[in-house]
Chain A
Amino acid sequence: MQSKADTRYRVTLTLNGRERSGYAEPRMQLCDFLRHDLGATGTHVGCEHGVCGACTVLVNGRASRSCLMLAVQADGKQLETVESLAAGDELNDLQKAFRKHHALQCGFCTSGILMSSMEFLAKSTSPTEPEVREMLSGHLCRCTGYTGIVNAILEVAEERNSGISRQTDINKENNNV
């Protein structure tokens, strides 16, 4: 495909499980497309050059900076943003843990950190604290000092593990019966 600078190109993507479309000039950043055209304002825009991590979303399951990606590049892709986490008013386990551990204050960086953590926890089931901190090195938080964030992520990893082992035990029992 080829698109002129001043024409708007139709972009269709899957946002949090729903197909959504809009129009974007070639130079439009994905973060602006999400916020201004699709109304997904949970994704925040900080530095606009890939350093702060506030705009991090999942693109085909991988945590990526939406300021370092053009809207036209997201055409046909699966996107997940912070809006995908809670079920209605019910926060998901990671959001609950952030709340419990005071892992946010102003909340500006939080949506990006949550999305990176979702990918991280899916791939790294028993992470160590240094591993969590290395993942977080791609995010800037100026309120918390990171301690609460690290604690929240470690707690969720542990809870999800015990959840899995409980489920395995139940399955075993059922099979034995």
Chain B
Amino acid sequence: MKPAPFDYARPNTRREACELLKKYGDEARLLAGGQSLMAVLNMRLAQPKVLIDVSAIEDLHYIERRDDYLAVGAGIIQAELLERPTLVDEVPLLALAMPWIGHAQTRNRGTVCGSIAHADPSAELPLCLLTLGGEVVLEAHRGKTRRVPAADFFQGVLTTARRPDELVTEVRFPLKKPGSRYCFREVSMRHGDFAIVALAAVIADQQVDLGIGGVADRPVVRTLSKGERLNAELNEFAWSLDAQDDAHASAIYRRHLIRELGSVMINDRSATEEGPIHAIQS
């Protein structure tokens, strides 16, 4: 279908964008790459009064390596981050997970921050940010900024801690920790479909931070201990997520995938290397 009519604004600065947000609040939707929002608009599931397009704001277009994190500005598309030659050394989990986001053609427009702000429970980027313990930077009018840890940012299906007058300007992914190993696995009906279950793991000597997407109403991370108790802890984790039956998979199957794939990822080194093929190499 075609979207319902809306007013359109394309600010050139963050300040202008934040003033528009203050003026319109809930009546406005922010548009960046549009790979989720445009589909929603076309199907008329959302009919905002105003669309604020932030893609022309030049100073949001940056990827910067700072002390212990990689900062990604709201203007950066997923393909640009994935094509970064040093990404695999900086944030290896992203290098493993990002090829699973949609398709090459949607990664060419979809933004990194847009996916975080959209907060789809099955999306890869929110899961990675949460599992790594990253942060979201928000800006409101008059340059008021605040940082929100990923654990507080994701609050439910398509629901975040962002206030109606705030713009997500940056997300921060913690850099690779020496001695840790990173894994990502996903099960979906076809490559590029929404995840039935997605697992992201940071595996250290004694413990594992395991993040699960696609099951609960938001991504969830839990620290598990390696060794004898692991399978019992995986089982408890799987049951804690309140998995639902839907058209794609049953709750039983989702819990099964968490137990089995969780165990494979954490115990089997070879799982690190598994991932889809990078179709586009730069």
Q: Which residues of chain B come closer than 8 Å to A2, judged between CB atoms?
A: 7-10
- Interface magnitude class on chain A: 35 or more
Answer yes or no: B277 CB below 8 A from chain A CBs: yes
Dominant secondary structure at the B interface: loop
Q: Are B282 and A138 in contact, CB atoms less than 8 angstroms apart?
A: no
Name the residue on A nearest B8 (C-beta): A26
Residue contact B103 to A62, C-beta cutoff 8 Å: no
Q: Judging by beta carbons under 8 Å apart, are A72 and B281 in contact?
A: no
Q: Which of chain B's residues have a CB closer than 8 A to the CB of A50? A: 35, 38-39, 106
Residue of A nearest to B110 (CB): A68
A49 near B42: Cβ-Cβ < 8 Å: yes
Please count how many residues in chain B sit with their CB below 8 Å of the partner chain's CB atoms: 39
Contact across chains for A134 and B191 when beta carbons are under 8 A apart:
yes
Q: How many residue pairs between the two chains, A and B, have CB atoms under 8 Å in the bound complex?
A: 126
Q: Which residues of B contact A29 (CB under 8 A)?
A: 2-3, 38, 42
- What residues of chain A lie closer than 8 Å to B1, measured between beta carbons? 48
Indicate whether B79 reaches chain A with its CB closer than 8 angstroms: yes
Tell whether, in the assembled complex, residue B104 and residue A120 are in contact, meaning their CB atoms are under 8 Å apart.
Answer: yes
Given contacts A50-B35, A64-B109, contact A26 B281 (CB under 8 A): no
B interface with A by C-beta (< 8 Å): 1-10, 34-35, 38-39, 41-43, 51, 53, 55, 79, 99, 102-106, 108-109, 190-192, 276-282
CA distance A7 to B35 in the complex (A): 25
- Are B42 and A5 interface neighbours, CB within 8 A? no
- Inter-chain contact A26/B103, CB cutoff 8 Å: no
A68 and B10 in contact, given A131-B277, A134-B277 (Cβ under 8 angstroms): no
Nearest chain A residue, comparing its CB with the CB of B4:
A27
A residues within 8 A CB of B106? Answer: 50, 65, 68, 138
Q: Which of A49, A65, A68, A70 contacts B8 (CB under 8 A)?
A: A70
